[in-house]
Amino acid sequence: MDTLTREQRSERMARVRGRDTKPELAVRSRLHALGYRYRLHDRKLPGSPDLVFAGRRKALFVHGCFWHMHEGCALARMPKSRLEFWRPKLEGNRARDSVKLEQLRALGWDVMVVWECELRDLDALVARIEAFLNENKGTK
C-alpha cells in the first residue's frame, strides 16, 4: 500500500528529472573544470547520452541506481508497493539501456556508464572517466 495519496505521489513523481540531475551535474562540473568539453544529451545518438565527446567518439551516461536497476547496489531496491507498475517500468529501463548501448557501439562509439553510487568517491570516479576519455580507440 502506498503511503502517499494519489495527488502527493503524482506531485513527487513530477519532480523526477531526466536530465540535469545532481549526479550528472557533479560529473559535468568536475570534467569541465579539468578542461573537457562536451555536448549534452545529443538526440542524434541512440539513448541521447548525457555527455558526448564527439571528437573522441566517446559517450557517457550518468545513471541513477534506482531508475536503471544497478545490480548489487543498495540504492537499486525494488519498491514494496505497486510491483505490477514498477517491475515492468524498471526492467524496461534496463532493457532499453542495453539496446541503446549496443546501438552506440555498433556505430563505432565507446561508451561508459557512471552510476550514482560511484559519486561517493568522486576523485576515483573522475580518474576512471579521464582514463576512459584518454584511451585510444580499440585498446580496451
Domain that holds residue 128: 17-134
Give 80's pLDDT tier (boundaries 50, 70, 90): confident
Cβ–Cβ < 8 Å for 68, 93:
yes
Q: Find where cell 548525457 sits.
A: 50
Decide if 10 is inside a domain: no
Residue 4 lies in a domain: no
The CATH number of whichever domain residue 110 belongs to comes to 3.40.960.10
DSSP state of 137: T
Does residue 20 surpass a pLDDT of 90?
Answer: no
pLDDT surpasses 80 at 43:
yes
**Residue corresponding to grid cell 542524434:** 44
pLDDT of residue 140: 43
Q: How many domains does the chain have?
A: 1
- Please state the pTM of the whole predicted model: 0.84
pLDDT in the model for residue 98: 96
| Alpha carbons 72 and 11: distance in angstroms, whole number | 29
Rounded to whole angstroms, the Cα distance separating 83 from 14 reads 19
Cα separation, 30 vs 38, in Å, equals 12
